[in-house]
Structure 1
């Protein structure tokens, strides 16, 4: 069976990206979790735990997980923290369907709610949440500043935003090895398992186009976040960012 490329979205902040990102993730939803585990050797779970640890001192009661996908991060929050409610939003309905099955299977449906929603136009009133999380989603925003402003808007004063995202390693040797893996190994495994080669060529291209590290902190500061932190993970392959409203 030939590999599909029709869901390959534009790179960077471009008009039309949102619709194509949704189509791409809808296409790979059935095998998304399996691919994450294989392609990251399970490290993605550790990264999500670190994200949850960054909001734990805030003792949040209401948490929003933006670009929740199949709800891995929302589930991690509900398992580890005594929250009243975790709301996950995503534009890809097929990803949400997989997430709802996982939430029901784990008996978390009373505390974890998943709904379709646009990160750049969140369906919530102002200051509703104590913490907002985004894992591997901000680089897919069509308009990054608009998405960050929406996260800022729905946070209560003093609330925190934590972003987990892929980044570019700063060490030359690690950067070279990672680029080779991302451009040559990852697309082949992704295409073999998902039958959508474009999705796994999009990933490294989107990482390279994303304003990571200090550049991303400046984006957060521009929309109003303060007390900014940047924490590289696993040789800088991924990064955690935190800001306070």
Structure 2
């Protein structure tokens, strides 16, 4: 099955979505953390923390952080859950290079490591990780079904998959406020603070096209996950999805 978000790409180019997303994140890597915090007003920290806390009952020893970027989610997971190992994977080497610097400064190089891997073709064996996480990366997948199939494959039986994604609010007044924010403010701030203006035009377009709410729950179930549920934050601006193998 093809999803609309898989056809939304950062650039007007014949390259695959994977190649375009890789190029986009390599370009915005130096300003990504600063701009991300600015655009979310820091609220994303509370979303991330709550998502990771949903893994606490499992006491995971091994975690796979997909689309890890500069490693913030992996670092927070280590702080809260204290697993033995976290592998952060991404297709952008420049984003992960920043993450590696953070991890080294924090003295966590023995716990968190980074690898360039495509989530649709993971090199890990089956039943390998206790948990898998993604923070705001699933809408960038070139093939959502293939990504979910691989994530489920490498999870141990009973393992948990949690991911956060920006979503479109459905109710007044957040729906109207978010419409103004995504149409005008996100592209404006991207143009102001980033060298890649198209990246922050792609952001609201990819959010709008992404399968949300019950559609995403059904997508996870279709790909073999069970006990799927969701939690909305800040009037529906962000949604947490929780699923198990």
Per the shorter chain, which TM-score range?
Answer: over 0.9
Cross-structure match for 1:119:
119
- What corresponds to 2:154 in structure 1? 154
Q: Does 2:5 align with 1:12?
A: yes
Deviation at 1:47, TM superposition (A): 1.1
Partner of 2:133: 133
Query: Match for residue 41 of structure 2?
Result: 41
Write the mapping of 1:64-213 to structure 2, written as runs, cut at 5 A.
64-213=64-213
Unaligned runs of 5+ in 1: 1-10
State the alpha-carbon separation in 2 of the partners of residues 133 and 73 from structure 1.
8
Q: Distance in 2 between matches of 1:233 and 1:152?
A: 25
2:195 & 2:230 partners in 1: Cα distance? 35
**Size of the alignment, in residue pairs?**
235
Match of 2:52 in 1: 52
Give the superposition deviation at 1:122.
1.2
Deviation at 1:103, TM superposition (A): 0.5
Cα distance in 2 for residues equivalent to 1:65 and 1:102: 16
| Counterpart-to-counterpart distance in 1, 2:193 and 2:60 | 38
Aligned partners of 1:187 and 1:102: how far apart in 2?
A: 28
Secondary structure at 2:242 match in 1 = strand
User: RMSD of the alignment, in Å?
Assistant: 1.0
Deviation at 1:82, TM superposition (A): 2.1
2:11 aligned residue: none
SS, match of residue 190 in structure 1: helix
> Where in structure 1 do 4 or more consecutive aligned residues deviate above 6 Å?
none
* Separation (CA, whole Å) in 1 of partners of 2:109 and 2:191: 33
